[in-house]
Amino acid sequence: MSIHLAKSAGFCFGVDRAVTRLQELAKERPVATLGPIIHNQQAVERLQEQGIYAVESIDELAPGTTLAIRTHGVAQAVVQELENRGVDYVDLTCPFVKKIHRIVAEQYQNGRKIVIVGDKNHPEVVGINGWCENNAILALDIFDLHGKIEEYDLVCVVSQTTMDRKTFTKIEKFIKDTCKDPLIFDTICSATNERQQEAVAIAKQSDVMVVVGGRHSANTRKLAELCQAHCGAVYQIEHFGEFPQNIKIPNQKIGITAGASTPPWIIKEVVGEMEEMNTMGNESFAQEFEEYEKSLVTLNTGDIVKGTVMAVTEAGVSVNLGYKSDGFIPAGEVSDDPDADIAELVKPGDEIEVFVVRVNDVEGEVTLSKKKLDSIASAREVEEAAETKAILKGKIVQAVNGGVIASYKGTRVFIPASQASDRYITDLNALVGQEAEFRVLEVKKIRGRSKIIGSIKDVLKERKAAAAETFWSSVEVGKTYQGVVKSLTKFGAFVDVGGVDGLVHISELSWGKIGHPSEVLKEGDVAEVYILEFDKEKGKISLGFKKAEDNPWVKAKAELSVGAVIDCKIVRIVPFGAFAEIYPGVDGLIHISQVANKRIGKVEDELMVGQHVKAKVVELDFDAQKIGLSIRALLEEQEAPAAEEAVAEEVAAPVEEAVAEEVVEASAEEVAEATEE
């Protein structure tokens, strides 16, 4: 057996600096760290033996204890809270991480979108995000950036210090191809890069590769993943006790590396134990490992595989792939529709085809996506539709400068404002959320990406042309249609009656007088209309809306008769008289000669608009829709009894005078009697 230990294995500069400083402080006063100082349980336990404990929040800090900020760093708000509360603290943030904090804070203040290439759950990334108010875009793959950055966005890119070079380069290229002027900072720690390159070189020459480090350490997991691509037997262990004791290592080439948070004493222990195992005369490990490997399905990032749905929860979908562990589809990767109910889309027992987003053999995690697979398939469909001129149906998901974005099974299609409708639309946001049919006009390849341009207008025009042909072939006067009000003008409403617009004149909207069509209809209303007349050659159609049964003259004919006394309201005064409303839509004329029982110079001297009066019907002509009214006739009728009474009073006057003369000489009893008569 030969053992090849990586020179870069173990503590990096930042971790070594932090641990050394903690041990020095602990000799002077009580010290606690805000979270584990590093991702290595054995190292943390050894620090505890020296009186250095980890706390999860500032509130857990014992009085008189100095708080140490760990190498991963913290958010700006945490530092501010420490300052505000007067906590005695020492900042052990790795200098390389500290530099990223400064970059992010400065560029965020300059108005740039911050992109952090890294694991969103890693403490270092959480801390960096806290220096731009937690508004960063977090990405481990280019798929994490889809729909989040546009061509003219000002973007600043930084990376988790322990990120692998391949992932960063891939995302860097995507951003350069997408944005016009990105600001990119390569913040991968040089020590991390050297450690990874050395680990790969050793793995290529080894039969067994051992990666030593905490199971929660991101840089240790990444080392293991890189080694797995070049060595068939890779083991990530926290200490030698986790190395499988049944593995036979004699005559094998053993490679050993360790993560940045692995202390030297653990590495030394692993090397010593491996050398001791070599003396035990075990059988060849290679054959046993080969048999074990054959029993497992091999998965790689980018694979398209089939599996069986095992469980569906709000968080996502578990899928059995025949791998050593189930794959998982996060809820956001099931469908491109954010409002979709994933429990309705997939059910336990369903066979499902998925895209392998990420394989983490060390943690036994397989991240899957159905949405990405749908997007790949839909992208092919869209390109085919551009050639065949097929009509696609998608959802308008966003209004952008100059148009809208339609989503077709996860593929974004840009529809210019001029192509968003067959009519001018003032506010494109009104289209967001609507389902729309469109045709792909063009697919542009720009720096490796497809920019798809579509048209809703093209489909609408085609549909309208077909509908118009059907309409003109069957149109006839009096035929009724369920139309949609498209627009209103001061003289009427334009209604789509099946690919063709007709005009309902304002006079045809109501039997009563209206000032504007909006008093009866509004845009988007479904209205029952009928053909009054049409001219196919000129493409003109006159429509009716008001119903015959609602005609107030029908009611007037049934209820009014000459001689009837009615209540009415003065609605208009003219030199020759006044018009009074009897019913809405039915007016009668009170001629100036019929306004009063005397001669008048002006109608306004007796009547005013809005005044309610009683009048007598003196004339009816329903064919000409004319009604004559008279106030004078009523006044004269009221005066006739008064005149008769006056004549009677004149005849009775001499008698009363005679009675009075007699009364002078009459008794009281006779006066009362005469008065009573």
Catalytic residues, which ones? 124
Structure tokens at 660: 């009075």
Which three-class secondary structure state does DSSP give residue 64? coil
CA-based nearest residue to 495, from 520, 474, 462, 476? 520
DSSP assignment letter at 235? E
Phi and psi at residue 268, to the nearest 5°:
-60, -40
Beta bridge partners of 286: none
Identify the residue whose tokens are 């551009």: 386
CA-based nearest residue to 563, from 627, 645, 487, 509? 627
CA–CA dist 619, 562 (Å, integer) = 6
CA–CA dist 271, 284 (Å, integer) = 19
Please give the full DSSP string across 174-190, using - where no structure is assigned: HHHHH-SS-EE-----H
Q: Is 427 left (phi over 0), alpha (psi -120 to 50) or beta?
A: beta
Alpha helices in 529-620 (DSSP H): 552-559
Phi and psi at residue 601, to the nearest 5°:
-85, -40
Neighbours of 152 (CB within 10 A): 9
Angle value at C-alpha 101, between 95 and 103, nearest 5 degrees: 105
Identify the residue whose tokens are 């203040």: 109
Phi and psi at residue 593, to the nearest 5°:
-75, -15
Helix (H) or strand (E) holding 312: strand 304-312
